[in-house]
Structure 1
């Protein structure tokens, strides 16, 4: 996986490399400290699979630069990873074609799942833009709420066994591994996974795990 990390803080780039290494064994990272460097890398390097961009970096002057970078990246998804949590700024940036807006305050357990979703063709916006009613937006604009019900209410509607399966899905276990852990045959596990996806209104396992992780993070401790 070929990734461009554009952030002027080395500690942030290092942390992102660690997160990305959990998604692939063939990670190749190109780093940029300024907007100009990021633009040049996109123009001159082999195609990237993902571009991650900080909004508060040298030489990045506004929305026109973001649009330009998205256009230069072509079909490669651009994800913003930044300190700003302003809903107005989020909306403006997403309108530029950015596929994910990830505040740096996002729990680290969610970031890898969000990036996996983006790499699979989905999009992500923070819950603040849609409130509790809409936390994840895929290209097909899937409504995760099942109408008026919140994602939290959907999780409460899962059976005990479905919850067990979802928790193991969130740990990255395959159906075969889940079956071994819960002493279930493969067809039963597949049935439970299908039930989880249906109950959450999720299109795939990654989306279901993201819903679960966001609710777990939001739950009071």
Structure 2
């Protein structure tokens, strides 16, 4: 008899008690998610993560004592390290970009609906990137103004796109739309594992170090709008 999979362990860090209570309440109603700890600042988040070993850490960007940005590196230094997803608001795109550079798995707007929040936790636990559609466009615009992704050793953007197969190009377009692996799989009618393989190939062939950089490339080359 197959044993049931253990719940996804989540640590929630936000200095607003009301936000923590609301998010925790939503997640506790998902049968496969367990909120194992709540923190009011980044320092406490790191301390609790070392004890409770969460799979996913939902971390507010702006907190006293130690903000979410400063907490990313020590969280990722833990063994095992949680997947760190930043909780943000509109207009905080600069900090979101910093978080992604620090290694955060993605970002989620605080006012996302319950199902979007639950889906984001599941996606992060599965190794997927979490890119809230509500802020992805603004983040990509900031990156475009900053010059976009690396130049891959001088290779023009069109040359990098030419390295892709037809299917990989389709996946790149959907990355430009901010879709998750699950969403891409559903749209293309293929398995999530196959999508992960395609995403890995897209990142390698385009010289992108993250899904967001690949999304920027899709926009720069006109594949996505």
TM-score exceeds 0.5? yes
Residue from 187, 193, 198 that aligns with 2:188: 198
Residue from 171, 180, 195 that aligns with 1:143: 171
Q: Give the Å deviation of 1:65.
A: 3.6
Q: Give the Å deviation of 1:26.
A: 6.3
Q: Give the Å deviation of 1:40.
A: 1.4
* SS of alignment partner, residue 121 of structure 1: coil
Q: Give the Å deviation of 1:93.
A: 0.5
Q: Compute the TM-score of the two structures, normalised by the length of structure 2.
A: 0.55
Deviates more, 1:93-102 or 1:105-114: 105-114
**1:124: which partner in 2?**
130
Gaps of 5+ in 2: 1-6, 142-167, 197-225
CA contact (8 A) 2:88 2:109 kept: yes
Provide runs of 4+ in structure 1 moved above 4 Å: none
* SS of alignment partner, residue 68 of structure 1: helix
Gaps of 5+ in 1: 132-139, 153-168, 171-193, 208-221
CA contact (8 A) 2:59 2:68 kept: no
* SS of alignment partner, residue 57 of structure 2: strand
Query: Across the two proteins, how many residue pairs are aligned to each other?
Result: 157
Q: Aligned equivalents of 1:9 and 1:198: distance in 2?
A: 40
**2:211: which partner in 1?**
none
Q: Where do 1:92-107 residues align within 5 Å?
A: 92-107=98-113
Q: Give the Å deviation of 1:73.
A: 6.1
Q: Aligned equivalents of 2:169 and 2:21: distance in 1?
A: 33
**2:16: which partner in 1?**
9
Q: Where do 1:51-200 residues align within 5 Å?
A: 51-61=57-67, 63-72=69-78, 74-83=80-89, 85-126=91-132, 127-128=136-137, 129-130=139-140, 143=171, 145=173, 196-198=186-188
* SS of alignment partner, residue 143 of structure 1: helix
Q: Aligned equivalents of 2:90 and 2:79: distance in 1?
A: 23
Q: Aligned equivalents of 1:18 and 1:37: distance in 2?
A: 20
* SS of alignment partner, residue 52 of structure 2: coil
Q: Give the Å deviation of 1:91.
A: 1.3
Q: Aligned equivalents of 2:73 and 2:30: distance in 1?
A: 27
Backbone CA RMSD of aligned residues: 4.0
Q: Give the Å deviation of 1:118.
A: 1.0
- Superposed CA deviations along residues 24-45 of structure 1, whole A, max 9, x for unmatched, are 35624211112221121123x1
Q: Aligned equivalents of 1:94 and 1:46: distance in 2?
A: 24
**Are 1:27 and 2:17 counterparts?**
no
Deviates more, 1:118-127 or 1:24-33: 24-33
